[in-house]
Structure 1
């Protein structure tokens, strides 16, 4: 097997492993694989610039990688959006908690209570 096909097979294996990491919520492993994938991709691009011709097997491998990578990208974007929503929810919850914690400390003046939230 020539170098380009070996690199493409490695890319396909890494991309499959990334999908598995996304399914299992294993972010550390996903990012580790992302760095490996980047290195392999750079090696492949270097080989492709030296020898640009492709046979049918290489085209098929590239197609499989592209499809799987697209699925991974969409799944990663979904997970990222979930994390952003959770962070917004936590921030809002923290702000609401702080409002009620401090409600009676600063608004009490001379025996009267002024509720700033209602007016």
Structure 2
């Protein structure tokens, strides 16, 4: 199998994985498979060498269009993960405030007497 068709197959697999809804509890496994496909894809991109046949050019055009959609979906996935991390951080802070409500109030109510 030539490099362009292998790259097309890997890009299509990545496209399919990114278009499936990923449950939060299975996200780590999907991210690992996405990283593996991206690594394989980069290796294939590095191995591309011209000249290209007409069929390879057609597959290349398809790969470029698939790549635009892959980039958008990866950005959406990144933003979803970023949102989840900030949500977890907020929950953790509110839980800590609930467990020890006086921890952050140590400097409140301090009076400095400047009389001599």
By the TM > 0.5 criterion, same fold?
yes
CA shift in 2, pair 1:56/1:106, >3 Å: closer
Equivalent residue, structure 2, for 1:43: 47
Question: In 2, Cα distance between the equivalents of 1:11 and 1:82?
Answer: 27
Equivalent residue, structure 1, for 2:9: 13
Are positions 1:103 and 2:107 aligned together? no
Unaligned runs of 5+ in 1: 108-113, 115-119
Equivalent residue, structure 2, for 1:86: 84
TM-score for the superposition, normalised by structure 2: 0.74
Report the alpha carbon displacement of residue 23 of structure 1 after superposing the two structures with TM.
2.9
Question: In 2, Cα distance between the equivalents of 1:106 and 1:9?
Answer: 60
The answer to whether the Cα contact below 8 Å between 1:21 and 1:27 also exists between their aligned partners in 2 is: no
Equivalent residue, structure 1, for 2:26: none
RMSD across aligned positions (CA):
2.2
Are positions 1:27 and 2:31 aligned together? yes
Report the alpha carbon displacement of residue 104 of structure 1 after superposing the two structures with TM.
5.1
Q: Deviations over 1:41-77 (max 9, x none)?
A: 1111xx22xxx4x343222111100010110110010
